[in-house]
Amino acid sequence: MSTVWMFSGQGAQKPGMGAGVPADPAAAEVYACASDHFGFDVARVSQEAAQEELNETKVAQGCMVALSVGLARALEARGHEPAAVLGFSLGQVSALAVSGMLGLDDAMRFAAFRAEAMSRAAQANPGAMCALLGADEESAAVLCAACAQDDVLVPANFNCPGQIVVSGSVAAIERAEEAWKAQKKRCSRLATSGAFHSPLMQQAADELSAWLADVEFAEARIPLIDNGTARPLAAAEAKERLAAHLTHPVRFEQSVRYLAEQGADTFVEVGFGGVLSGLVRRTDKTWGRPVVASLDDVESYEG
| Nearest residue to 10 via CA among 92, 108, 90 | 90
Which residues are CB-neighbours of 187 under 8 A, at least 6 positions away? 130, 131, 132, 133, 176, 177, 180, 181
The dihedrals phi and psi of 17, each to the nearest 5 degrees, come to -65, 150
DSSP 8-state class, residue 284:
-
Contact between residue 294 and residue 27 where contact means Cβ atoms under 8 Å apart: no
The whole-angstrom separation of Cα 195 and Cα 203 is: 12
Q: Is residue 197 flagged as an active site residue? A: yes
The catalytic residue among 37, 197, 245, 248 is 197
Long-range CB contacts (within 8 A, 24+) of 237-240: 238/101, 239/209, 239/212, 239/213, 239/215, 240/209
Catalytic residue selected from 8, 46, 68, 89? 89
Exposure of 140 in the CB half-sphere (CA atoms within 13 A): 27
Q: Which of 110, 69, 97, 86 is nearest to 242 (CA)?
A: 110
Amino acid identity at 84 = A
Decide if 89 is catalytic: yes
- Catalytic residue numbers read 89, 197
